[in-house]
Structure 1
Amino acid sequence: MPKAIVLGGYGLIGLACMQALDKAGFEVCGVGRSMRSAKSVAPSANWIIRDIPTITTQEWLDILEGIDVVVNASGALQDGAKDDLEAIHVTAVERLVEAATTLPVRIVHISAAGVSETASTSFFRTKARADMILSSSARNWVILRPTLVLSQEAYGGTALLRAASALPLIQPIALPDAQIQTVYVGDVAAAVVASAQGKIRSGTIADITERDSHSFPELLAKVRRWQGWAPPVACPTIPAPLVGALGKIADLLGYLGWRSPLRTTALTTLADGIRGNPEVWRNAGGEACRSLDETFDLLPATRQERLFSRAYIALPLAIGTLAVFWLLSGLITLADPARAMSVLSERAAPSWMIAPAVLGGAIADIFLGIGIFWRPWASRAALGMLGLSSVYLVGSLVAAPDLWADPLGPMVKVLPGMTLATLVWLMLDQR
């Protein structure tokens, strides 16, 4: 039985490749840096848990022993808290190729349509350098360059499409001149299998894409119809400067660990267009890729599809609301601590605990409000908000039960905040 390793095996493309290779009779092993993410998508698969850019050439020699095919589906969109494009796209490929030159192994490399050393984004430039390293140094290789990949899995650009198409009542018009071609993830996986089986000759570089292209607004409209939403009441035009500003904000959030599909790399890529030439793949012996409509036929939009799209919009709003609420709660208390302390002193609370409770609570509020912005801490911050809110509620029942009957409902209003924190905790998941 031939053996294959898939780098980035629990990603959108990587997982599809693992499943397709397994069905084609390969013994498959995935490589990724998170066991939790790996086991959540493919619990019965074999995994090597490593941060791919840190693997040395010697370690690759050990990993590749007895391996027939390496599929490189790893990658990142933009530099951020967890991602270094140079390390992921260039250094890792250099070491892999150096090790593979002494072994009878074929490398099937997933690149991207439109890569160029003079491209407008680091993503495309580093991908182009990886392609060049592979094509000039490897012995047995195929480079596949998909356009915008559509899948039942929603991630990155596909999640953005789903969310933008699910906006209630409106369908924003942005990037009207952008032309996009798509490809079904199953067609990408089939191309990988054909390459792994040796049906595609070594040295092939081919775009994997449908034939037709679509303007970005047209693509959004088709996704909206596919999801089953009502036609929009209004289609406001989003000015280019506003789109750019959103990208800059998303870039900043990227350094806090949030991999937003609104980052400038994604927006620039969309604005430049995502297009490829399907003829090279057909001439190399590959099967034609499905059209956008045929892809939608394979991906029925279910209720969970629509719930995800709306939740994807709601999650950042919920996180922002919680952050502002908790930050303001702490800052307002610190701005006039004597007033806050009087709430307890007027109710005969023990004097020794008044200042620590008020000041400690204010500092904890601020810490949680800041903490939920940092992606690695966000889930724990949401749980912390639940815990601290519970302490406030119990403490109020003991020290100030009359506040529950206050006409403005200061304690009752804590309950919706707890509910919002619970929803954020439940929705915060990462591949």
Structure 2
Amino acid sequence: MKILILGATGFIGSAIAARLRRDGHMVTGLARHPNRARVKHPSIAWIKADLAEMTDPSDWRTVLNSHQLVINCAGALQDGLSDDLGATQEKAMLALYAAAAQSAIERVVQISARTEGGGQDQPFLVTKRKADKALAASGLNHVILRPALVLGRNAHGGTALLRALAAIPHVLPLIYAQSPVETVSVDDVAAIVSTAVAGEFQSGTDIDLAASEALTLRELVILHRNWLGLPPARIVPIPTGLAKPLTWAADIAGRLGWRSPLRSTAMAVMSEGVLSRRSAQHLPSQRLATAVETLEANPSGVQDLWFARLYLLKPLMIGGLALFWLLSGIIPMMAPTAASRHFLPFMPDGIAMALTLATCLLDIILGAFVLARPSALSALRGMLAATLGYLAGGTVLESSLWLDPLGPLVKALPSILLTLATLAVLEER
């Protein structure tokens, strides 16, 4: 069967794609950067597309051509430079359903979410709910699956945050520590999608996917700490009021394109926990792996510990570089005449002042641009190039600065290392 997967590069979508390929299906994925996706997943055919731009049925007709089934794993937590919830989770889906009704698509499998309970008025769940209702009313043969918190070998979003919290030294600061959380293995999700693809569910089936046990957030974090092989640490409950500045900062980062799991939508959902709907359908016979069983089936390695420890350091690294470069540009501009004195032995006053202002402006631009996800890679590369240029220029024009007690050139070396480390952890998937 030829299957089109939306969100095939994601945590859940990639696991589903791998399972369906093992089942012998021909899989096509949509991706914003298909060349990169093709390198990582060569057995999948890739189509370049951005869901945010596919809001009319005509945008889908060519894409759906020759496919028999569509699986939607695409989703985003909040609006930002990298995501448009209204476009990707609602308008694009309504356009897809309209186009699918006029095509040879035999079935649509929707990976949705629990759209009731905590955070149900947040745009993430509102758009999901509207898309689900539209699919149910479309007349298409469809199955809707609603996973709980998904755990697996890899991690993204909430599962990545669990690992990061578990790796904090000495104490574990937690908000909503007693909130109940149901989990499901990503392998189980992929297996159930495989069952849906085989046509073993009736059209209109709407199932919550969760293991039989619910753990508190506190228990889940401790479980992940044990999985990482770290010694016990004391739980420190954090009042929700004290967490608001952190959520506010995460929301700002989201607007700049960074997909932080600490944004207000996630906090709203966690305020009541992640639990099945009271009226939910469940699998009649298949037993789903518990959180303990999922982690035991995927033993951690040193790479998991590194990831967990670096996850919360990453925003601090980016923020630290931004502050360093912004201040490097702003402070000399407050006294440009004094700042330009280093150039005076080598060039006229006017050129020295112009060069000082130009380098200050460059520093400010790099410091600002690294804060936005779409421009962060270019900014980090620019920081490396600028720093090497400053070191080369300083060495040629005034090599004695290497021996200066304040170390203006020597201090640039740690900046280079921090920039390289940030480049190494920049990718989110």
TM-score (norm 1): 0.94
- Note if 1:88 corresponds to 2:88: yes
Could you tell me how far 1:280 is from its partner in structure 2? 2.7
CA distance in 1: counterparts of 2:31 and 2:283, whole angstroms: 32
- Which residue is 1:15 aligned to? 14
Could you tell me how far 1:173 is from its partner in structure 2? 2.6
Change (3 A) 1:67 1:117: farther
Within a 5 Å distance, the mapping from 1:18-417 to structure 2 comes to: 18-55=17-54, 56-102=56-102, 103-115=104-116, 119-232=120-233, 234-276=234-276, 280-283=281-284, 287-345=286-344, 348-351=345-348, 353-417=351-415
TM-superposition CA deviations, 1:346-380 (whole Å, max 9, x none): xx222264222211111111111111101111111
Q: Does the 8 Å CA contact 2:82/2:374 hold for their aligned counterparts?
A: no
Give, as a single letter, the amino acid of the residue that structure 2 aligns with 1:49: K
CA distance in 2: counterparts of 1:37 and 1:274, whole angstroms: 34
Give, as a single letter, the amino acid of the residue that structure 2 aligns with 1:35: P
CA distance in 1: counterparts of 2:119 and 2:223, whole angstroms: 32
Secondary structure of 1:172's counterpart equals: strand
CA distance in 2: counterparts of 1:293 and 1:417, whole angstroms: 41
CA distance in 1: counterparts of 2:117 and 2:31, whole angstroms: 27
Could you tell me how far 1:43 is from its partner in structure 2? 2.9
Secondary structure of 2:390's counterpart equals: helix
CA distance in 1: counterparts of 2:3 and 2:287, whole angstroms: 24
Q: Does the 8 Å CA contact 1:325/1:369 hold for their aligned counterparts?
A: yes
Give, as a single letter, the amino acid of the residue that structure 1 aligns with 2:237: T
Secondary structure of 2:27's counterpart equals: strand
TM-score (norm 2): 0.94
Secondary structure of 2:174's counterpart equals: coil
Change (3 A) 1:213 1:174: same
CA distance in 2: counterparts of 1:332 and 1:16, whole angstroms: 50
Q: Does the 8 Å CA contact 1:4/1:69 hold for their aligned counterparts?
A: yes
TM-superposition CA deviations, 1:141-174 (whole Å, max 9, x none): 1100000011222211111111111112221132
Give, as a single letter, the amino acid of the residue that structure 2 aligns with 1:111: S
Could you tell me how far 1:37 is from its partner in structure 2? 4.6
CA distance in 1: counterparts of 2:71 and 2:255, whole angstroms: 29
Change (3 A) 1:338 1:59: closer
CA distance in 2: counterparts of 1:371 and 1:250, whole angstroms: 17
Secondary structure of 1:236's counterpart equals: strand
CA distance in 2: counterparts of 1:37 and 1:272, whole angstroms: 38
CA distance in 1: counterparts of 2:282 and 2:236, whole angstroms: 39
Give, as a single letter, the amino acid of the residue that structure 2 aligns with 1:211: S
Give, as a single letter, the amino acid of the residue that structure 2 aligns with 1:254: G
RMSD: 1.9
Secondary structure of 2:371's counterpart equals: coil
Secondary structure of 2:4's counterpart equals: strand
CA distance in 2: counterparts of 1:132 and 1:277, whole angstroms: 16
Could you tell me how far 1:273 is from its partner in structure 2? 1.0
Q: Does the 8 Å CA contact 1:6/1:72 hold for their aligned counterparts?
A: yes
Secondary structure of 1:214's counterpart equals: strand
Could you tell me how far 1:177 is from its partner in structure 2? 3.3
Give, as a single letter, the amino acid of the residue that structure 2 aligns with 1:186: D
- Give the number of equivalent residue pairs: 425
TM-superposition CA deviations, 1:275-333 (whole Å, max 9, x none): 126983322x6x22111111001221101011111121221111111111111111110
Secondary structure of 1:154's counterpart equals: coil
Change (3 A) 1:174 1:365: same
Q: Does the 8 Å CA contact 1:163/1:310 hold for their aligned counterparts?
A: yes
Q: Does the 8 Å CA contact 2:179/2:272 hold for their aligned counterparts?
A: yes
Could you tell me how far 1:23 is from its partner in structure 2? 1.0
CA distance in 1: counterparts of 2:333 and 2:39, whole angstroms: 43
CA distance in 1: counterparts of 2:190 and 2:318, whole angstroms: 36
- Which residue is 1:427 aligned to? 425
In terms of mean alpha carbon deviation, does 193-202 or 90-99 score higher?
Answer: 90-99
Give, as a single letter, the amino acid of the residue that structure 1 aligns with 2:97: V
CA distance in 2: counterparts of 1:256 and 1:142, whole angstroms: 34
Structure 2 unaligned residues grouped into runs of 5+: none
CA distance in 2: counterparts of 1:369 and 1:54, whole angstroms: 30
